[in-house]
Amino acid sequence: MASGPPSGAKKEQWGTRVGLVLAVAGNAVGLGNFLRFPAQAAQNGGGAFLVPYLISFVLMGLPLLWVEWAIGRHGGQYGHHSSPGMFARLGRARWLKYVGVFGLFTNLTVAAYYCYIESWTLAYVWHSLRGTFEATPPTTFFPEYLGTTNSDIAAIPYEAAGFFLATLTLNVWLLSRGLVRGVELAAKIGMPLLLGFGAVLAIKGLLLGTGDPGVVESPLVGLNFVWEPQASGLFNPSTWLAAAGQIFFTLSVGMGSIHCYAAYLRERDDIALNATTAGTVNEFVEVILGGSILIPIATAYLGLAAVQAATAGGSGFGLGFLTLPTLFNQWGWFGPIAGAMWFGLLFFAGITSSLAMGQPVLAFLQDEFKVKREKAALGFGLATLLLGGLVVVLYPGGTFDEFDFWTGTFSLIVFALAEVLIFGWIFGIDRGWAELNKGADLRLPSFYKYVIKYVTPLFILVVLFGALVKPSVGWSEAASQLMSTGAGRSRSTACSASCSTSARPAATSTRAARSRRCSSRT
């Protein structure tokens, strides 16, 4: 593994600070902000979700961001831009670099299914512009597109595979152009467009009135539901799990991807302010923009109760890919444009995130095996194609959910716990704190030194434990069942043993169905 003292060797660096912040914000702002957040919020009591969510951001999200930026910039000074090499630099033990391998594994495997969803958004831009959804309802179109209507489980859905290939090619091409001409460029174009499209859709949606055709409720009812904080969520462990899970996913922490971007900084470049800004931009986009499109528009046409029912599973796919395109048909000539804007926004959100999953893999091949950038990009593309191919072909068989849980949820939490412990206890919190504050343009409150050392690891441990033993019926129901009949316990134990797939903070619809199957079985 390449090591050695900090070298003055010529290496890639970010072009501008604006470019850097946009790229890191683009990394974090993804499909999670516009689909997963609103669905998770709607499913977990709207404003009741917001309070644990914001607390998780402050006690877990922000500290993890700082830790990851610090590990990344530190590793970068030794020529490491992917986590195995960086982790080897945090202490003497040989096993440290193997912890870092998590940061490659997750990126590669998450990329496989993430790029697939990203490719759906591209297909939907095309079909929105063509007016496909005026003639064919998305509820008919989507299963056919995915090949879920085909009884032969290994049949290839050609259109979906074609869009997947096109999306991957674009990712590989951008990655092969290098940090500034690829990643930074995509963020500089994609982020402003995404914000613009989002603003147009939010304004158009929020201006819907009950006099407009098809509107049954004011969109503000939906907005209020998501935004009005309610203390009740504080006492519900399931809400905490969902909120913490969303913070992980949306900030892209526990992936090795933030580390990689930070590794392209110079030794005295600020990290405290950059990390805080990128995290805050992500939260702004998630809560403000993400909260004002999907739920308010759907509420206006369907009513709040139906919207909540439609978000069962918490992925937002149903509302985003099935419901919204139908509702845009009510908007006359603007309908196809609105559809293209919605899916275009999702596409830009997606691609700036998938590039962030590819870059660490590229960097690993470049740093440790001296592979040329273009070849490394191709390597990432091929690996994603192989893994993603499985998801495309076997989607109806539930491969997608398996990927999502093990790579998109479970390993993120394990990796984050390991890194915060290594940073606070092996690298040492004093050194760590000094590293974080080196060249800082923002003074971090000193109590965070203790938060990073004690509170964040404990917080993650509780989340991990909760995610593993969460009963299928939900904690509060299980507790009340337990108290009233004593039945909750046996049921939850039986379920977590026989059907661990139900124990996930980030349930998608198939998974929820599986967990329902499980609860009926036990």
Binding site for ligand PHE (CB under 6 A): 27-28, 30-33, 110, 249-250, 252, 255, 257, 353, 356-357
> Rounded distance, CA 339 to CA 343, Å?
6
Q: How far is the CB of 412 from ligand PHE (least distance, A)?
A: 8
Q: How far is the CB of 30 from ligand PHE (least distance, A)?
A: 2
8-state DSSP, 6: -
Q: How far is the CB of 459 from ligand PHE (least distance, A)?
A: 19
- Residue whose CB is less far from ligand PHE, 302 or 507: 507
> Rounded distance, CA 422 to CA 241, Å?
24
- Judge contact between 31 and 343, C-beta under 8 A: no
Helix (H) or strand (E) holding 187: helix 185-206
Q: How far is the CB of 251 from ligand PHE (least distance, A)?
A: 6
Q: Widest CA span of the chain, in angstroms?
A: 69
Q: How far is the CB of 388 from ligand PHE (least distance, A)?
A: 15
Q: How far is the CB of 243 from ligand PHE (least distance, A)?
A: 14
- Residue whose CB is less far from ligand PHE, 249 or 328: 249
> Rounded distance, CA 449 to CA 272, Å?
13
- For the chain, the straight-line distance linking the first and the last C-alpha, in angstroms and rounded, comes to 50
> Rounded distance, CA 143 to CA 334, Å?
26
Q: How far is the CB of 29 from ligand PHE (least distance, A)?
A: 7
- Judge contact between 405 and 506, C-beta under 8 A: yes
Q: How far is the CB of 220 from ligand PHE (least distance, A)?
A: 26
8-state DSSP, 503: -
For 397-431, give one letter per residue: b (16+ CB within 10 A) or e: eebbbbbbbebbbbbbbbbbbbbbbbbbeebbbee
Residue 370 to residues 98, 324, 364, 378: CA-CA distances in angstroms? 20, 47, 9, 14
- Judge contact between 108 and 387, C-beta under 8 A: yes
Q: How many CB atoms lie within 10 A of CB 106?
A: 25
- Residue whose CB is less far from ligand PHE, 147 or 360: 360
CA 180 to chain centre: 23
Q: How far is the CB of 255 from ligand PHE (least distance, A)?
A: 4
- Residue whose CB is less far from ligand PHE, 103 or 335: 103
Give the residue among 231, 286, 263 at the shortest CA–CA distance from 25. Answer: 286
Q: How far is the CB of 276 from ligand PHE (least distance, A)?
A: 17
> Rounded distance, CA 244 to CA 233, Å?
12
Q: How far is the CB of 244 from ligand PHE (least distance, A)?
A: 14
- Residue whose CB is less far from ligand PHE, 236 or 407: 407
Structure tokens at 361: 């893999």
Q: Which amino acid is at 487?
A: A
- Residue whose CB is less far from ligand PHE, 24 or 304: 24
Give the residue among 141, 114, 145 at the shortest CA–CA distance from 322. Answer: 141
- Residue whose CB is less far from ligand PHE, 60 or 518: 60
> Rounded distance, CA 464 to CA 443, Å?
31
Cα dihedral value 400, 406, 409, 415, nearest 10: -150
Residue nearest ligand PHE, CB atom distance: 30
- Residue whose CB is less far from ligand PHE, 28 or 179: 28
